[in-house]
Amino acid sequence: MNPADRQAVRLALGTASALGLARLAFGLLVPAMRADLDWSLGETGAMSTANGLGYREGALVTAVAVRVLGATGAFR
């Protein structure tokens, strides 16, 4: 593996790590958001569901983009 490939892998792993931590942080922040914003359990559940659906839709769109544009084009 040449140095440019290694750098690309490190950048991709950094992004993946940040997204993973952000997903974890959202789950930890939900109770505080509920208390501070005076959300009901229904509103809190709706927000959590919307967050999950957003990740799902992003993954589906990315899969299509990689098929159409290739990995490099979708990354750009």
Look up the pTM and report it. Answer: 0.63
Domain extent for 38: 3-75
What pLDDT is recorded for position 5? 85
What pLDDT is recorded for position 27? 84
What pLDDT is recorded for position 8? 84
Q: Which residue has the tokens 């914003």?
A: 37
The full 3-state SS of the chain, as one line of letters, equals CCHHHHHHHHHHHHHHHHHHHHHHHHHHHHHHHHHHHCCCHHHHHHHHHHHHHHHHHHHHHHHHHHHHHHHHHHHC
How many domains in the chain? 1
Residues of the chain whose pLDDT is less than 70? none
What pLDDT is recorded for position 15? 82
What pLDDT is recorded for position 23? 77
What pLDDT is recorded for position 67? 92
